[in-house]
Amino acid sequence: MLAIGIIIAMASAGCGGSTSKLLDSGSSLMSGLGSNPNLSTFTSLLKTPGLSSLLGGALKGPTTLLAPTNDAFNALPASTLTDLKNPSNVSQIATLVKNSIIPGQKDPSTLKSGGISTAAGKPLDFSGVNAGSLISAGDINIIPIDKVLQ
């Protein structure tokens, strides 16, 4: 019985732990995002309370994060942006973020080739999306994009 309790405790400690550390203000991911002031809207969404537990291990290991620019968010209907900025809509924010995560470190040129799925399991449609310069943040590549992937 004690062994089962230890296994459960160890499994619980590992669940989402690294994701929450990645979303801490001093992490390499948040520093990488913070290095581009045009990603401030996306960065603020990542600070939504409870988001890291909903993301689970989506940001674990080598990953590519497609970070919509402020202009991409401003192109959304005002009501959509207001909803996204509301912390009570954390599950909607988590879906948006999962649609922006691609397993493995990619660069913008490989994203247009197709055959890539997001962490949410959706096929990535990168047509009509313009990508900015790649930002490296540890084992996460951050690619600023001019569209919000929903």
Residue spans of the domains in the chain: they are 2-145
The chain-wide mean pLDDT, for the chain, equals: 84
pLDDT for the residue numbered 94? 93
Range in 12-26, 64-78, 125-139 the model is least confident about: 12-26
Could you give the CA distance from residue 98 to residue 122 in angstroms, rounded to a whole number?
A: 9
Q: Smallest Cα–Cα separation from 62: which of 102, 22, 97, 26?
A: 102
Structural domain 2-145, CATH architecture: Roll (2.30)
Average pLDDT over residues 67-91: 94
Q: Among residues of the chain, what percentage have pLDDT more than 90?
A: 56
Take residue 28 and report the two structure tokens written for it.
């390499």
Helix (H, G, I), strand (E, B) or coil at 140: strand
> pLDDT tens, 54-73?
888 888 889 999 999 999 99
pLDDT for the residue numbered 135? 93
pLDDT for the residue numbered 141? 92
Measured CA distances, 34 to 67, 105, 114 (Å)? 11, 19, 29
Residues 6+ apart with CB under 8 A from 78: none
pLDDT for the residue numbered 18? 59
